[in-house]
Amino acid sequence: MEFSAKEIASILQGKAEGNEQVTVSNFSKIEEGKPGTLTFLANLKYTHHIYETQASIALVNDDFVPEKKLPSTLTLVRVPNAYAALASLMEWVDKEKKHKRGIESPAYISPSANVSPETVYVGAFAYIGENVSLGKNVEIYPHAYIGDNVTIGDDTIIYAGVKIYAGCRVGKRCIIHAGAVVGADGFGFAKEGGNYKKIPQLGNVQIEDDVEIGANTTIDRAVMDSTIIRQGVKLDNLIQVAHNVEIGENTVIAAQVGISGSTKVGKNCMLGGQVGLGGHIKIGDNVGIGAQAGIISHIESGRNILGSPAIDVKNFFRSSLLFQKLPDIYRTLNQLQKEVETLKKELNKD
């Protein structure tokens, strides 16, 4: 697809400076800009690249003031927030792409499923179970498994190899990446004598609108009721969400996070990579948790924490300064202890 600077400015409600008719057909990083591409400047530490870039168009913030002459081949498009504008433009371009339609062969679709070949795409070797309902513009890529009684909302994309177990519900405009598993049994066992007896997992998973789930992420079904992923949640690759967990609206979670059963995560939270959350705890709204933190108790709203067990970020960094000094502190403490013992002996002689 090809767009002119004038068209891009119109889409983003920005202002073009330079040749409005110059066109681009791809995106590039500002330090790797090529003719015919659009780049952006959002981070000031990359400012020096804009004076040398070969890109044809650059998105910049409204308040950007060049300190020297820009390349004559570069047209600026000024917007309030260059990074947000880039995301909006890429989203717009993605939506303009032609959606796949039709049923590829071989694919199995149950006669009881509500699937319209005119409005959906089902790839080869996909399996669509009994009483499945697919909304408009749904795309099911090859080798996906959609179990019985699953409902998938409009404009949702299920990529290759995704497995959605029976009874689960997926909202509108969701994206589930390759290899993700939604609705597998939760890890529920009761010890009986020397053995473990499986507890049937009779609930489901409910995923609300505008959720994105990364590759090979797993979300377990509830013992009863539902494991719930609220609207706008973004999950990275390789995340484990256990049974009866609830993740609040617009929370974002990085790779390799593990969330234990029945834990509730609030709205607008941010969890770094490899965070571990214990079971049956509650994380408040607007909480930030740094990478590799271990959480074993309730966390109040608005806190930023780090470490294992996690503490407030400021206290963690103060403590980390002491970690490096511990060997010296230990030697000093030993020396002081020896001096105290010597003084005690001298006092006892007197």
Collapsed DSSP state (helix, strand, coil) of residue 94: helix
- The model's pTM is 0.81
Residue type, 184: A
pLDDT at 315: 85
pLDDT at 259: 98
Nearest-Å Rg of the Cα atoms of the chain is: 28
Q: What residues of the chain score a pLDDT lower than 50? A: none
Residue 309: is the preceding peptide bond cis (ω within 30°)?
A: yes
Q: What is the DSSP letter of 226?
A: E
pLDDT at 350: 66
**DSSP string covering 275-321, please?**
-EE-TT-EE-TT-EE-TT-EE-S-B-TT-EEETTTTEEHHHHHHHHH
pLDDT at 1: 74
Active site residues: 243
Question: Which residues does 95 contact at the CB level (< 8 Å), separation at least 6?
Answer: none
Q: Which secondary structure element, helix H or strand E, spans residue 140, and what is its range? A: strand 139-140
pLDDT at 326: 87
Q: Convert the pLDDT of each residue in 24-66 to its tens digit.
A: 999 999 999 999 999 999 998 999 999 999 999 999 999 999 9
Q: How far, in Å, CA of 220 to CA of 182, rounded?
A: 6
Q: Convert the pLDDT of each residue in 199-238 to its tens digit.
A: 999 999 999 999 999 999 999 999 999 999 999 999 999 9
